[in-house]
Amino acid sequence: MEKVIIIRYAEIHLKGKNRGWFERVFAVNMERSLKGLKHEIRRHSGRYLVENFDENRTEEILDRLQKVFGIHSYSVALKVNADMDEIFSAAKSVCSEIGTFKIETHRADKTFKMNSMQISAEIGGRLLDVNKNLKVDVHNPDFIVNIDLRENGTALVFNKFYKGAGGMPVGTSGKGLLLISGGIDSPVAGHMIAKRGMSIDCIHFHSYPYTNMQAREKVIELTKVLSAYTCGTKLNIISVTHIQEEIHKNCNGDYMVTLLRRFMMRIAERIAEKCGAQCLITGESLAQVASQTVEGMTSSNSVIENLPVLRPLCGFDKDEIIERSRAIGSYEISIEPYEDCCTVFLPKHPVTRPKLSDILAEEAKLNVDKLVSEALDSLETVLL
């Protein structure tokens, strides 16, 4: 009896002509997620089977597959020959000790000597014979024993369907550049967009030495968490220290965050062009903090020349974001207390509803092109 994992995929089946391509990307993503662990992945009539793995590492394999977008559900099954004695012993092993059950048989192999009803009846009867604590209930059973007779003379026997990550395979919806800060929100925003099939690269701005090296390590750790879902991610790290110093020296301090945001967007767009990203993604949520107003968004959008800005968290409350952040495994890292560059030179009274004409007047005091190009010169990249 061999342990295997049955993978059922999510919305891919909706994609008509592109289906083959979606499936290939999906299979590559599963392969990447299981890299370093012995296994084989085979496609079997509309689903995949993970086979030939070390059974002691089943949990680790499931943990990794849990992060692959496109998986609708999965089951750990026993694979046996399509022989009633072997099917029975597999059914006995997946069956609970006590309770009500029913058998559901699916027979892809139409040449098998018994039909689905007969198989279910015989295996059910034999289970009742060996365990008096079991009872059949076909309407509302405590558990179901599934028997799946394949065309190749094997049968898969299992009792549970686990929910997969859902969504679309990463790489089937283009590529985006996530502005990642070290806070709670941006990794969640990246995760949401990756779930819809987008590949993600990240960009982080720091103001070393005002922000320290631990803050940088923290962002690398967060990007690592994200990259388990995105099948790898490139992190671009850029210094904006000189920009903040110039704003501090020349402009009304209340505009620090507003002006810095505009620089971040400009630089991010340039990096996006360089890495082939088709949109920017931020972790902004409407009205969460002073700078996250619709006027603030208008101000930062107005410096972007070509790309859309996705803000998937706009409609979420903080506690909803925290819940997601815990679920994806980024929360504990995000709450480590290191400073973000937005907290350096933070004004006492930041403008909340900046008027574009006032922003432009402040910005006119700076050599924007020069500051952007100096920032681009500071680029470092880390592959995760």
- Mutual angle of helices 256-275 and 294-301, in 10-degree steps: 50
Q: Which does 325 bind (CB under 5 to 8 A by kind): ligand ATP, Mg ion, none?
A: none
**In the bound complex, what is the minimum distance in angstroms from residue 360's beta carbon to Mg ion?**
25
Give me the sign of the Cα torsion angle 82, 88, 92, 93.
negative
Q: How far apart are CA 62 and CA 81, in angstroms?
A: 24
**In the bound complex, what is the minimum distance in angstroms from residue 223's beta carbon to ligand ATP?**
11
Q: Which spans of this chain sit near ligand ATP (rule: CB under 6 A)? A: 179-181, 183-186, 204-205, 264, 282-284, 288-289, 291-292, 340-342
The 138-177 site mask, x for binding Mg ion (CB under 5 A), equals ----------------------------------------
- Asked if residue 192 lies in contact with residue 154, where contact means CB atoms within 8 angstroms, the answer is no
- Output b/e per residue, 302-323; b: 16+ Cβ within 10 A: ebbeebebbbbbbebeeeebbe
Q: Which does 204 bind (CB under 5 to 8 A by kind): Mg ion, ligand ATP, none?
A: ligand ATP
Task: Please tell me whether residue 181 binds Mg ion under the rule CB under 5 A.
Answer: yes
Q: Which does 341 bind (CB under 5 to 8 A by kind): Mg ion, ligand ATP, none?
A: ligand ATP
Task: Please tell me whether residue 183 binds Mg ion under the rule CB under 5 A.
Answer: yes
Query: With CB under 5 A, what is the number of residues at the site for Mg ion?
Result: 3
**Longest pairwise C-alpha distance within the chain:** 87
- Asked if residue 175 lies in contact with residue 232, where contact means CB atoms within 8 angstroms, the answer is no
User: By C-alpha distance, which of 158, 91, 77, 98 is closest to 122?
Assistant: 91
**In the bound complex, what is the minimum distance in angstroms from residue 308's beta carbon to Mg ion?**
22
Residue number with the smallest Cβ distance to ligand ATP: 183
The β-bridge partners of 380 are: 237
Contacts of residue 255, Cβ cutoff 8 Å, sequence gap at least 6:
247, 347, 350, 351, 354, 358, 359, 362
Nearer to Mg ion, 154 or 181 (CB): 181
**In the bound complex, what is the minimum distance in angstroms from residue 175's beta carbon to Mg ion?**
23
What letter represents residue 175's amino acid? K
Task: Please tell me whether residue 33 binds Mg ion under the rule CB under 5 A.
Answer: no
Q: Which of residues 336-365 bind Mg ion (CB under 5 A)?
A: 340
**In the bound complex, what is the minimum distance in angstroms from residue 204's beta carbon to Mg ion?**
11
**In the bound complex, what is the minimum distance in angstroms from residue 251's beta carbon to ligand ATP?**
19
Instruction: Give the residues lining the site for Mg ion (CB under 5 A).
Output: 181, 183, 340
